[in-house]
Structure 1
Amino acid sequence: MTHSPLRSSASTSPKSISSGPELFRSGSLVSAREPHQARIGVFDSGVGGLTVLRELYRQLPQESILYFADTARLPYGTRSRAEIVQFVREILTWMAQQQVKMVIMACNTSAALALDVVRAEFDLPVIDLILPGAKAAAQEGDRVGVIATPATAASNAYRQAVQEVKPTAEVWQVGCPEFVPLIEHNRIHDPYTLEIAKEYLQPLLEQEIDTLIYGCTHYPHLAPVLRKILPRSVKLVDPAKHVVAAAAQELDLMGLRNLHAPLPTRFGVSGNSEQFAQLSIQWLGCTPLVETVQLPTVSPQPLSVEDSAAC
């Protein structure tokens, strides 16, 4: 089945509301007559989540998808936890307004810093990349390297997840602050990108890792660069492949698999829609129609003492 990445021409302008989590407190997951036909929401700070979108097309071609990129506020990897939590609240509130049946966090930084908070606030299935990616890495090797944004690396989310699955595994994490901006500016094949990649990978090579996790959905776009540096024996783990498999299992458990032809994928961004569309061509194979979205106003909520302590 061919899955067109073009959305329908009809679009709605989300209205500002004071708070997000209450949207699903009514107990109704989706108000549509046939909930299984609702879209799966996918979000990232930019084009990184397109790696997850491609996997959705491969593994769940019958599903309709809503993709949102928070390009006005990228990169997420250098933001504070409070900022990330607020951003995710706003995105999930908007996606709830669009009546999605599930959300995939195609952003490791969001998952590392905001997952537990928003799962407690929204009565909506939210699937993250970290646990599926960690399980896959634990099966592949014993000396695991993680390249991620500074925020994800500092959270120790991948180390904890891998060692929960495999306590004997050793895990090393490296924050890579320049990768996302380089990818978003289409500088993957720039000589500078190769040099900075060598710098980031050196500590992991010194530890003789046997497995490397892409701890950011942007990073699979760098595979041609990373393969020039890594020994052939090092296995690359792309959590995008495994999070889609986890999403498929969740859909089956909820009885929400779509049995009809999918709708065209709908794309939304908070920043420049034309810039996102042009950058996406090389990964989608066509130019997507992209709408600019004004996210709803969501009243900030202070993090609990426990959540703040986790920062």
Structure 2
Amino acid sequence: MKDHDSRPIGVFDSGIGGLTVLKELALQFPQESFLYLGDTARLPYGSKSGHTIRKYSEQNIEFLKRQDVKAIVIACNSASTQVPESEFAGLPVYNVIGPGSQRALEVSSGLRIGILGTRATINSQAYTKRIHSMNPKAQVFDQACPLFVPLAEEGWDSDPVTNLIVFRYLSTLMQNQIDTLILGCTHYPILKNSIARVTGSSIELVDSGEAIADWLEEDFIAGRLQRRKDPAPRMVTVSTTDSSTHFTELAHRILKPVKADEFRVVDLV
């Protein structure tokens, strides 16, 4: 068995939000190459049915497999609710539900955990079920925030309108005296400053990117994944299913200080 694998790690999301996960992974694993797929032509996923989200996710995985990736990271909470498998098409698969739930339980002081997510994620109850399977004593409170994704996609992370909408969504959730809040959509860390203004410093914010990096590191150590040991510089490639200058500009801002080596538009089939 080889002790190295120079193939890239595949990461996909419906749009720009998964770049928050890509950034964290690229910082944690500076020797690894990454291939990101943003399905911008079919954004958003969170308002679609589970059947449609599953179909889109399978198409994304098959595309990344054809690019010869060594693992798949589903950097989309809505897609993660529909692809629970730890392996798909012969590749290791990582979704954000398990890592996010585990991190929340680790940092929660009183086991009162809030979840923000798209309607698809909240309606699936995936986080609630996973958290209760890990610790039945945990109390979980959730809130769908359908306007967060378009705000993040628009780049309105510091806009006064965003602050008002964040307050509107979180005000009810905060009445439950939560001590930990899962940002249950990879777009939401883009709005992290606005969210933190409402929650204050006493509530722990759980970011999917940081949590999933821990799981990858565990599997590198355990040998489920092999590290890249190529002396050539690693590559970070960002692919989208629709062309957008706005996406590219916002991507550079989200990824900084990570540098994307190539942006390209692709067809999934």
- TM-score normalised to structure 2 length: 0.92
Distance 1:34 1:274 in 2: 40
Aligned AA (1:289): E
**1:260 maps to amino acid:** D
Q: Which residue of 2 is the match for residue 243 of structure 1? A: 212
Shift of residue 115, structure 1, vs aligned partner: 2.9
Distance 1:131 1:121, change over 3 A: closer
Corresponding position: 1:278 with 2:245: no
C-alpha distance in structure 2 between counterparts of 1:121 and 1:258, whole Å:
21
Question: Could you tell me which residue of structure 2 aligns to residue 161 of structure 1?
Answer: 130
Structure ID, larger Rg: 1
1:75 to 40, 44, 53: 44
Q: State the match for 2:237 in structure 1.
A: 266
**Is contact 1:274-1:290 (8 Å) kept?**
no
Other-structure match for 2:157: 188
SS at 1:87's partner residue?
helix
Gaps of 5+ in 2: none
Deviations 1:109-157 (A, max 9, x none): 10012334xx575221001111111111112221000001110011111
Q: Could you tell me the TM-score, scaled by structure 1's length?
A: 0.80
SS in 2 for 1:48: coil
Q: Which deviations, in whole Å up to 9, do the C-alpha atoms of 1:215-245 show, x marking residues without a partner?
A: 0111111111011111321111112101011
- How far apart in 1 are the matches of 2:22 and 2:160? 28
- The match for 2:79 is 110
Asked if structure 2 preserves the Cα contact closer than 8 Å seen for 1:214 and 1:238, the reply is yes
Indicate the larger mover: 77-86 or 51-60. Answer: 51-60
The one of 83, 95, 115 equivalent to 1:146 is 115
Aligned partner of residue 147 in structure 1, secondary structure? strand
- 1:302 aligns to what? none
- What's the offset of the Cα at 1:181? 0.6
Which blocks of at least 5 consecutive residues in structure 1 are unaligned?
1-32, 297-311
Partner of 1:88: 57
Query: 1:42 touches 1:106 (CA, 8 Å); kept in 2?
Result: yes
Deviations 1:172-211 (A, max 9, x none): 1111101001110111222221111111111211101000
Q: Residues 36-79 of structure 1, C-alpha deviation per residue, up to 9 Å, x if partnerless?
A: 00000001111111111111122111111001100111111101
Write out the 4+ residue segments of structure 1 that deviate beyond 4 Å after TM superposition: none
2:14 and 2:146 map into 1 onto residues whose CA distance is 14
Aligned-residue sequence identity (percent) comes to: 36
Q: What code does the residue aligned with 2:129 have?
A: Q
Work out the number of aligned pairs and report it.
262
Separation in structure 2 between the aligned mates of residue 288 and residue 187 of structure 1, nearest angstrom: 25
> 1:192-211 residue pairs with structure 2 within 5 A?
192-211=161-180
Q: What SS does structure 1 have at the residue aligned with 2:213? A: helix
- Counterpart of 1:27? none
